[in-house]
Structures are given as C-alpha cells and as structure tokens.
C-alpha cells in the first residue's frame, strides 16, 4: 500500500526570488502544498557574512518547522552555498539548490565549459565550482557575480528589449562568451526571470540551467522514494509569508510567479520573534 504525506513543503529564500523555485514545484508537483517564507526585511543575504547568513537561515528554518512542513527547501543560492550545514539539526529532509543544478550542468555540457552567474557570496563560497570539478575534473568553470541583477529584476526591468538589463548582462557575461561556455547555471533564484534576455545576449547555443527546475525534479524524486507525495485528498492551499512588504512587493510577486500567481495573500511576520 502506497503511503502519502499531505503536509506542505517549506520553501525559504532571502527575499522573493525563491518564488521562482516555488513556481517550478507548483508546475511539476501540482498536488503539493507550499509554505513559503521570504526574508524581504533582511534581503540580500548575498552580501552578508557567513555567520549572519547561518543565523538568518536557522531562523527561517525554525519558522517553517512551526508550520509542520514535511521538507525544507533552501531556495536561496547563497544559503545553499554557505549555510547548508544548518540542515544537520533539522527533523525533516533538507533540499538545497546548488548540487541539483550542478549535476544538471555537468550532464548537459558538451565542451566542458560551464558558466556560473550568481551573487557574490555564492561565487565566493566556491560551492558550485568545487562540486562541478568533483564530477567533471576537466571542466573549465567561468564565474560572474551578478550583483546588479537582483534589483533589476525587482524593478521589473525584465522585458527582452530592456536596455539596462541587456547592457548589464553583456558586462557580466562577456568572460563566458570569450571562453565559449555552452552551459550556464543561473545561480540565483531571481535570474530565471531574465532567461529570455540572457539567451538574447549569449545565443541559443548555450543551455541555461534553472536551479528551480532542477530542484523541483529532485524534490519529486525524494517524495516518491519516501512515499511522501501528497495524495490529493485535500485541496491545494499554499501559504506565503514575508518579513517586510514594500510598495513594489505585489509587482515583484507577479514577475516571479508568472502564470502561477493566483493572487495569493502574503502575510507579514516578525522573523526575529519566531
């Protein structure tokens, strides 16, 4: 007899970028419920020190556990790179976004030249590069810290013809074009929103690795292996929380969730008091 677990999947990020991971989970696993927390009051994590990132991660995980989730997903590339060890004390499975995107990139590349576009903290951690070289020692890894891309996304400058986004990406991606990478890991959850512009800059010969898509596939496999899929006997009920709301909040949610935005109510919480 197949077992099931109708508890929600907990997803957290330093801000709203992790909504792109939530969107991929909704797409691939439509029966699953999601409890999402975006630490918008303390974003970005990518420019913080390791100890601060670990502290914030532990608070975020504690908040999700208070909602009785069956799994916690660190949808933040920075957390996945520098604070994944916080999972050691969790009573539920922990999924990060780095290893799954690395495996997808290594299995995709034809010429062994892989690019990584991420936050400065993620790049400085060396997590992607280390894992790539463990799986493919002959790989040539080209990294770029796309610090300006998160605010560009949150400003809504994501149209394929947006001059600011195009010129910024040209600057960040030039080393990758010069090196001839054929695979690019989008190492921040905001970046899939810029996929059409990135393809315009790089050309269609470069395969983009969406961390959210790779992670959603891994989540599905783990839930199947552990007989923990939602059996669909309860109505889908996603819950979204954030530590701060700004004037641009609704617009950013619309951009990141895309077609999967169903006007979800987002509740503000004081994460320091959890």
Quick one: pLDDT at residue 170?
97
Q: What is the pLDDT of residues 158-187, one digit of tens each?
A: 999 999 999 999 999 999 999 999 999 999
The band of 250, judged by pLDDT with boundaries at 50, 70 and 90, is confident
Say what percent of the chain tops pLDDT 90.
Answer: 70
Report domain 9-96+213-273's class. Answer: alpha beta
- SS3 sequence, 207-240? EEEEHHHHHHHHHHHHHHHCCCCCCCCCCCCCEE
**Which is catalytic among the residues 116, 188, 208, 214?**
188
Q: Does the pLDDT of residue 263 top 80, yes or no?
A: no
Q: Which residues of 33-49 are buried (b: 16+ CB within 10 A; e: fewer)?
A: bbbbbbbbbbbbbbebe
Q: Does the pLDDT of residue 151 top 90, yes or no?
A: no
Provide mean pLDDT across the span 206-215. Answer: 94
Quick one: pLDDT at residue 22?
92
Q: Does the pLDDT of residue 1 top 60, yes or no?
A: no
Structure tokens at 203: 């050309």
Outline where 155-192 has alpha helix (H): 163-179
What CA–CA distance (Å, rounded) separates 14 from 273?
17
Per the listing, tokens 């916080």 go with 86
Sign of the torsion formed by the C-alpha atoms of 111, 112, 113 and 118: positive
Q: What is the pLDDT of residues 43-89, one digit of tens each?
A: 888 888 999 999 999 999 999 999 999 999 999 888 988 888 999 88
Q: What is the pLDDT of residues 185-204, one digit of tens each?
A: 999 888 999 999 999 999 99
Residue 203 known to be catalytic: no
3-state secondary structure of 115: strand
Residue 220 known to be catalytic: no
Say what percent of the chain tops pLDDT 70.
Answer: 98
Chain centroid to CA 128: 14
**Which is catalytic among the residues 16, 26, 35, 76?**
76
Q: Which residue has the higher pLDDT, 1 or 102?
A: 102
Provide mean pLDDT across the span 24-28. Answer: 94
Structural domain boundaries in the chain:
9-96+213-273, 99-211
Q: Mean pLDDT, the chain, as a whole number?
A: 91
What CA–CA distance (Å, rounded) separates 76 from 57?
10
Sign of the torsion formed by the C-alpha atoms of 190, 103, 197 and 82: positive
Quick one: pLDDT at residue 2?
57
The band of 99, judged by pLDDT with boundaries at 50, 70 and 90, is very high
CATH number, span 99-211:
3.40.50.1860
Topology match between the domains 9-96+213-273 and 99-211: yes
pTM, to two decimals: 0.87
Structure tokens at 164: 């600011």
DSSP 3-53: ----SPEEEEESSSTTHHHHHHHHHH-TT--EEEEE-TTS--STTS-HHHH
What are the beta bridge partners of residue 72?
Answer: 10, 94
What CA–CA distance (Å, rounded) separates 253 from 63?
21
Chain centroid to CA 247: 23
């Amino acid at each position: 007899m197949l077992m099931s677990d109708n508890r929600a999947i907990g997803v957290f990020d330093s801000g709203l970028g992790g909504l792109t991971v939530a969107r991929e989970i909704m797409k691939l696993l439509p029966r699953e419920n999601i409890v999402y927390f975006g630490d918008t009051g303390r974003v970005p994590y990518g420019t913080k020190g390791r100890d601060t990132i670990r502290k914030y991660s532990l608070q975020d995980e504690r908040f999700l556990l208070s909602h009785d989730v069956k799994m916690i997903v660190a949808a933040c590339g920075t957390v996945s790179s520098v604070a994944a060890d916080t999972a050691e004390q969790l009573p539920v499975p922990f999924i990060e976004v780095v290893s799954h995107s690395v495996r997808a990139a290594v299995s995709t590349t034809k010429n062994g030249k892989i690019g990584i576009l991420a936050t400065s903290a993620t790049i400085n951690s060396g997590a992607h590069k280390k894992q790539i070289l463990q799986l493919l020692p002959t790989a040539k890894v080209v990294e770029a810290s796309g610090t300006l891309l998160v605010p560009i996304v949150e400003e809504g400058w994501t149209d394929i013809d947006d001059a600011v986004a195009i010129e910024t990406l040209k600057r960040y991606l030039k080393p990758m074009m010069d090196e001839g990478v054929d695979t690019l890991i989008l190492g921040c959850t905001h970046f899939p929103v810029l996929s059409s512009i990135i393809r315009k800059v790089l050309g269609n010969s470069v395969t983009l690795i969406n961390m959210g898509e790779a992670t959603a596939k891994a989540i599905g496999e783990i839930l199947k292996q552990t007989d923990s899929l939602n059996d669909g006997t309860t109505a889908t009920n996603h819950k979204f929380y954030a530590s701060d709301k700004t004037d641009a909040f609704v617009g950013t949610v619309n951009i990141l969730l895309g077609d999967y935005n169903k006007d979800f109510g987002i509740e503000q919480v004081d994460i320091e008091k959890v």
